[in-house]
Amino acid sequence: MKMKTFTAIALAVTMAAPPAFADLVFPSLSYRTGPYAANGIPFADGYEDYFKLINARDGGIGGEMVKVIECETGYNTEKGVECYESTKGEGALVYQPLSTGITYQLIPKSAADGIPLHTMGYGRTSAANGKVFNTVFNYPANYWNGASAVVNHLLEINDGDIKGKTLALVYHNSAYGKEPIRTREELSKKHGFELTLLPVDHPGQEQKSQWLQIRREKPDYVTMWGWGVMNATAIQEAANIRYPMENFIGVWWSGSENDVKPVGDKADGYKALNFHGVGDDYPLYDDLKKYVYDEGNATGAGDQKGTVLYNRGMYAAMLAVEAAKKAQEIHGVSDITPQQMRDGMEALEITEDLMTELGMPGFGPSFKVSCENHGGPGLASVNQWDAKAGQWKQITDYSESDMDVIGALIEEDSAAYAKESNVEEACS
């Protein structure tokens, strides 16, 4: 049968791929194609470049070379599963899929295989409860921190009172976009603002009706939970209806150069959250230039350095490397296993001194992970786009989010998961 021939060829091909062991393997489930590629590329480049730097400058982590296996997911969950299965046999230490949909798929698999999952600023928010989600981490900040941070920012600019204000949420109609809604609803009860929900369907190029509604209802503030092509489209639509940009605030996934640049000068003043530094004014970039770029080793086209998402990819890689170092320190071996990596992540502590030592002073908040808290401190800052200079400017400090509201929601949601999947709450 035809199918048998195909299977035979496929079998031969997979068997021919040589398995590699000795190295520390960090798979990069990236997406350089499809409607989310504009955001997927810089993250993947930053992620890989940092590992290249570690290999070239330090000779790997604790003497073990790092190997990055890239696998294209196209932001598609089925391909994500295939990527997970094809890379886990190579000794993958930690997965960072950069997709909430794929994260949901991988959470049970990661628990079963004991391979940690780091979903930095995305994924399932209640994974912050490490008692239930043993192998999943989402430090340093999660969606609900973001949802609260936006509201806090509004409170700040309105002298602490946003009663009766109207707030629209334009969101990607998927698990990703729906995550903040529950927090927002709680916050709207607490602070007395009105919430309008405007879902945008995948991939997000069609938003005319949503913005027509905004034009008609004139909400005081518009917030956005978008990704990929949806971001630029929304900002363009906002510019078209002359919505005041400084009242338009995106989450950290809606605040990269690729989102605002297509709109040009009209995007000036658009705000977005962030949980790490922007720009390339860090000593680390000198090392990157010396060891990676000048060697002609930059990943991809090499034109993404210093952008928000490139920095985020780099930050993700940095946290992974520090966790690996921690794991080596705890277990006294250099060739760590995924389970040991998990222990390293749970014991991770990022201090100001450490960041300065790594060449990233003030790049992110300092925090400490523990078994009870896999979510970090949840600090976020607000950035504003300066179209003339072509740069994001950080306009606030890293500030706390409303943990009273979020903590209760995390408890509730993780308890629901624990019940659904028969997980015992425990801290080892």
Partner 1 sequence: MIYREVGDFKTTYRDDGQTFPIHFDRMRYYVVLLVAFCVVPFIVNDYWTNAVLLPFLIYAIAAIGLNILTGYCGQVSLGTGGFMAVGAYACYKLMTSFPDLNIFFCVLLSGAITALVGMLFGLPSLRIKGFYLAVATLAAQFFLVWMFNKVSWFYNYSASGQINAPERTLLGYKITGAETSAPVTYLFCLVLVVILAIIARNLTRGHLGRSWMAIRDMDIAAEIIGVNPLKAKLTAFGISSFYIGVAGALLFSVYLGAVEVGEVFGIQKSFLVLFMIIIGGLGSIFGSFAGAAFMVLLPVLLKNVLVGMLGWPTDIATHLEFAIVGLLIVVFLILEPHGLAQLWRIIKEKLRLWPFPH
Nearest Cα to Cα of residue 184 among 168, 199, 200: 168
Q: Least distance to partner 1 from the beta carbon of 43, Å?
A: 13
Burial per residue of 274-289, b for 16 or more beta-carbon CB atoms within 10 angstroms, e otherwise: bbbbbeeebebbebbe
User: Can you tell me which of 155, 188, 197, 202 binds partner 1, judged by CB under 8 A?
Assistant: 202
CB 164 within 8 A of CB 192: yes
H helix runs in 59-96, sequence order: 77-88
Q: Which residues have CB under 8 Å from 278's CB, separation 6+?
A: 308, 311, 383, 391, 392, 393, 394
As a residue count, the chain comes to: 428
User: Can you tell me which of 62, 199, 262, 269 binds partner 1, judged by CB under 8 A?
Assistant: 199
User: Can you tell me which of 56, 81, 155, 418 binds partner 1, judged by CB under 8 A?
Assistant: 81
Measured distance CA(428)–CA(372) in Å, rounded: 10
User: 221 — phi, psi (to 5°)?
Assistant: -135, 145
Token pair for residue 15?
A: 């068997």
Contact pattern for partner 1 over residues 21 through 40, marking x by CB under 8 A: ---------x-xx---x---
Measured distance CA(428)–CA(425) in Å, rounded: 10
- Judged by CB under 8 A, which stretch of 108-116, 147-155, 253-261, 331-339 contacts partner 1? 108-116
User: Can you tell me which of 13, 242, 388, 389 binds partner 1, judged by CB under 8 A?
Assistant: 13
Q: Least distance to partner 1 from the beta carbon of 415, Å?
A: 13
Nearest Cα to Cα of residue 93 among 73, 130, 64: 64
Partnered with residue 136 across adjacent β-strands are 117
Measured distance CA(257)–CA(290) in Å, rounded: 25
Contact pattern for partner 1 over residues 280 through 319, marking x by CB under 8 A: --------------------x-------------------
Contact pattern for partner 1 over residues 328 through 357, marking x by CB under 8 A: ------------------------------
Site size toward partner 1, by CB under 8 A: 58
Q: Least distance to partner 1 from the beta carbon of 202, Å?
A: 5
Q: Least distance to partner 1 from the beta carbon of 255, Å?
A: 22
The amino acid sitting at 50 is Y
Measured distance CA(324)–CA(93) in Å, rounded: 9
Measured distance CA(122)–CA(144) in Å, rounded: 10
The angle formed by the CA atoms of residues 296, 298 and 301, to the nearest 5 degrees, is 105
- Judged by CB under 8 A, which stretch of 52-60, 173-181, 314-322, 350-358 contacts partner 1? 173-181
User: Can you tell me which of 56, 58, 62, 104 binds partner 1, judged by CB under 8 A?
Assistant: 104
Q: Which is nearer to partner 1, 279 or 300 (CB)?
A: 300
Q: Which is nearer to partner 1, 71 or 403 (CB)?
A: 71
Contact pattern for partner 1 over residues 120 through 159, marking x by CB under 8 A: ----xx----------------------------------
Binding site for partner 1 (CB under 8 A): 1-4, 6-7, 9-10, 13-14, 16-17, 30, 32-33, 37, 41, 70-72, 74, 76-78, 81-82, 85-86, 88-89, 100-101, 104-105, 107-109, 111-112, 124-125, 173-176, 178-179, 181-182, 199, 201-202, 300, 413, 416, 420-422
